[in-house]
Amino acid sequence: MEEIRTLIAGVNCTYEEAIKKASKGEKVIILYYAEQTENKRPCIDLVNFSEYEANDFFTMIDNMVGGGADMIVNCV
């Protein structure tokens, strides 16, 4: 799998930095805790990722958690 170089809001950059970088087209991952989502499940938002990169990332995460992850696609 090709390495996806990206910023993770709240992990390796601040949320403010992530917003600025995302607005300039850089890839940003935003992690939401279960209590922050409607369905009370953790969520990962991929900003400025291609469909291929998002699918690749999802496959990696799904394998890490042992399968059973859900992928929600929101296209703007």
Question: What is the 3 state secondary structure string of 31-66?
Answer: EECHHHCCCCCCEEEEECCCHHHHHHHHHHHHHHCC
Contact partners, residue 13, CB within 8 Å, separation at least 6 = 7, 21
- Tell me the pLDDT tens digit for each residue of 10-49: 888 898 999 999 999 999 988 887 787 787 877 788 889 8
Cα–Cα distance, 55 to 1 (Å, whole number) = 11
- To the question of pTM greater than 0.95 for the whole model, the response is no
Count the Cβ atoms, other than its own, within 10 Å of residue 9. 21
